[in-house]
Amino acid sequence: MYKIISWAAVILWMGFIFYLSHQPATVSNELSTGVTEVIVQTKVCRM
């Protein structure tokens, strides 16, 4: 059972990477900018 769950996680991760790499540049840039802003705000709040 553990092997099935492990392989399912790997396949889902591969699909997620493919989905993100298949996005147009503008959409990818917006997503990256949003994630970066959240990370920066989180770091600033912890300091």
pLDDT at residue 13, as a whole number: 97
- The domain segmentation of the chain, as residue ranges, is 2-46
CB-based contact 9:17 (threshold 8 Å): no
pLDDT at residue 11, as a whole number: 98
- Whether the full predicted model's pTM is greater than 0.75, yes or no, is no
Interval 4-46: pLDDT, tens:
999 999 999 999 999 988 999 999 999 999 999 999 988 777 7
- DSSP string of the chain? -HHHHHHHHHHHHHHHHHHHHTS-HHHHHHHHHHHHHHHHHHHHHH-
Q: What is the distance of C-alpha 31 from the center of its chain?
A: 9
